[in-house]
Amino acid sequence: MKLTEKYISQLIRHLRKSGPVILLESQMKEHPASTKSYIAFKPTAWIKAWKDQIEVMKKGESEWFQEKAWDAFKNFREEQQDWLFGYLGYDLKNELEDLYSHNKELIGAPDLFFMNPGFLLEIDLHNQIKVLRGELPDELDSAQNSGFSVQPTRQFSADEYIRLVENAKLDIYEGEYYEINLSHPIEFDFEGDPLALYDAMKAAGPVPFGSYLHIDDIDICCASPERFLAKKGDHVRSQPIKGTASRQGESEQTLKLLQESEKERAENLMIVDLVRNDLSRVSIEGSVLVSGLFEIQSFETVHQMVSTVECRVSEATDSLDVLKACFPMGSMTGAPKISAMKAIEDYENYKRGIYSGAIGYIDPEGDFDFNVVIRTAIIQQSKLVYPVGGAITSDSDAQAEWEETLVKARAITNILREGN
């Protein structure tokens, strides 16, 4: 059976009425990173974590207890030994390292959510489907896309962000770190259907790592171009993105400028080295290699500089230990990672939450694929948050860095202004 885009939207709209649903979607069929898509629904078990407060549901019964989130997740996976779909929130860093966050939460989402689906649909790059478990509904609701509307409520000013950049550059000159990713949230009042927003984001600019998640009163609309980490057998791959140029105007000229930019290459290489170091903590000795460096990938509104770092891991290495060694993605922190994350908490005024984390799946054999949560609208009831950011180095021009965050935001802000 072959699915249409309309059917996929109708199916998800139908399924989410009765519980959590997760769509992981390779929207760019020709992109080298694109792979299968999945729709996961009807959880037979799930785990949610708010710091050390854990909720586990199995067979319809929920249990609350206190445990470190990562330990609880590892125990949950060992018990399930099955497909798991969900996300890792950025603030898990506080448990994985000696870190903290006293900033305010903009969205009250769990730090971690994973579910074992009772219904699982696999979609290949030709939209052919395979029902891995469960059954497709006989009938879907005829209700059509209801659209959405937004009203901006809060955004950093240029002066605020430029001041952050200048302060970070002083830290860099003093040797605190040599690259840091600074972000700022754009906030909106939201009315309408979050899935309509996801569909509009996809139509405006398809990506290889799109995802839509509906969990309780939270909807996540993710248009990520970036792979955090993938594992297949003993092979692990990370593909950090660092380096952005707008596709407006002279596209060929901007592409060439990005390819030849010493600043962008330096930023990219710093994160490549960080990822190499993270992978070396769990890899077979001598197996870490950079198989692609400074490659340019083009999307609807931007060109991006992408590198690929790979390694092999032993059969005895647990999949969650691989994720733990590399989380969060270095492209979202800076380097050295821990120093940069400490500074991020001082300079930013909000908890990143799902933003900068990872969305993906783990299969029964322990293989997995996770994106980096960027270009993502996070909606809770009538509130929408869309964070944007960029890498700061000693060579950064503060005004240019501000403008780069606006370039990254353009894909969503244009859609939000137009509505649907």
DSSP state of 117: E
Q: Residue 251's pLDDT is what?
A: 67
Angle, helices 398-418 vs 194-204, to 10°: value is: 120
* Neighbouring C-alpha atoms within 13 Å toward the C-beta of 417: 7
**What pLDDT tens digit does each residue of the chain (420 aa) get?**
667 888 889 999 999 999 999 999 999 888 888 889 999 999 999 999 999 999 999 989 999 999 999 999 999 999 999 999 999 999 999 999 999 999 999 999 999 999 999 999 999 988 899 999 999 888 887 666 678 988 889 888 999 999 999 999 999 999 999 999 999 999 999 999 999 999 999 999 899 999 999 999 999 999 999 999 999 999 999 999 998 888 776 667 888 889 999 989 999 999 999 999 999 999 999 999 999 999 999 888 888 999 999 999 999 999 999 999 999 999 999 999 999 999 999 999 999 999 999 999 999 999 999 999 999 999 999 999 999 999 999 999 999 999 989 888 887 888 877 765
Residue type, 354: I
Please report the pLDDT score of residue 154 as a whole number. Answer: 86
Report the C-alpha gap between 118 and 84 in whole angstroms.
11
pTM of the predicted structure, to 2 decimals:
0.96
Token pair belonging to 322: 């691989």
pLDDT of residue 419: 63
In a 3-state reduction of DSSP, which class is residue 62?
strand
* Per-residue confidence (pLDDT) for residue 83, from 0 to 100: 99
Q: Which residue shows structure tokens 């821990």?
A: 338
Residue type, 4: T
Q: Residue 250's pLDDT is what?
A: 60
- At residue 408, the pLDDT reads 81
Q: Cα 362–364–369 angle (5° rounding)?
A: 25
* Domain range annotation of the chain: 5-139+149-418
At residue 174, the pLDDT reads 97
Given a contact cutoff of 8 angstroms between Cβ atoms, the answer to whether 305 and 265 are in contact is yes
Residue 166's SS3 state is helix
48-79 residues labelled b (16+ CB within 10 A) or e (exposed) = bbebeebbbbbeeeeeeeeeebbebbbebbee
Residues in the chain: 420
Query: What span, in angstroms and rounded, lies between the C-alpha atoms of 330 and 326?
Result: 8
Give kind and range of the element (H or E) at residue 239. strand 235-239
Q: What is the structure's pLDDT at 143?
A: 63
Q: Residue type at 66?
A: Q
* CA gap 153, 302 in Å, rounded: 26
Which CATH fold topology does 5-139+149-418 show?
Answer: Anthranilate synthase (3.60.120)
The overall longest dimension of the chain from CA atoms, in Å, is 64
Residue 15: in which H helix or E strand, if any? helix 5-15
Helix (H, G, I), strand (E, B) or coil at 274: helix
Burial class (CB in 10 A: 0-12, 13-18, 19+), 254: middle
| Strand 112-123 with 376-380, pairing | unpaired
Residue of 334, 385, 379, 308 lying closest to 33 (CA atoms): 308
Q: Is-cis flag, bond preceding 185, omega within 30?
A: no
